[in-house]
Amino acid sequence: MIPLSWYLLFSAALFSIGLFGVLSRRNAVAILLGVELMLNAINVNLVAFWRYGDIAVMAGQVFAIIVFAVAAAEVSVGLALVISVYRRRNTVIAEDLDLLKW
């Protein structure tokens, strides 16, 4: 049997990798890829806690499902945003999209 810690460490690592992607990629799509990694890490945690906690309590899996839904929504809207930005500004480099500054 695999100890819980392995899963937790794995998801921690995956999360950090995703975070790195989010923080360092220039391409907006790539940033979203990083976000996906982070979400997956969270899901692994949730399911692992379900498995190692009380099996009868389905909260972990349910949350995982909810996270799926949220991820799908996030990606669809995010990519739609990227595409419409690309239509207007003809770029998807996050650094170029800095209209928000002073």
Look at the alpha carbons of 91, 96, 98, 102 in this order and tell me if their dihedral is positive or negative.
negative
- Is residue 50 within 8 A of residue 57, CB to CB? The reply is yes
If one asks whether residue 42 binds another protein (CB under 8 A), the answer comes out as no
- Residue 18 burial class via C-beta count within 10 angstroms: exposed 0-12, middle 13-18, buried 19 and up: buried
If one asks whether residue 89 binds another protein (CB under 8 A), the answer comes out as no
What minimum distance in Å lies between the beta carbon of 69 and another protein?
Answer: 4
Contact characters 43-82, another protein, x per CB under 8 A: xx--xx-xxx--xx-xx-xx-xxx-xxxxxxxxxx-xxxx
What minimum distance in Å lies between the beta carbon of 39 and another protein?
Answer: 9
If one asks whether residue 29 binds another protein (CB under 8 A), the answer comes out as yes
Provide the β-strand partners of residue 27.
93
What minimum distance in Å lies between the beta carbon of 85 and another protein?
Answer: 9
What minimum distance in Å lies between the beta carbon of 14 and another protein?
Answer: 6
Q: Phi, psi (5° rounding) for residue 27?
A: -80, 130
Instruction: Tell how far CA 47 is from the center of its chain.
Output: 16
- The count of residues interacting with another protein (CB under 8 A) is 81
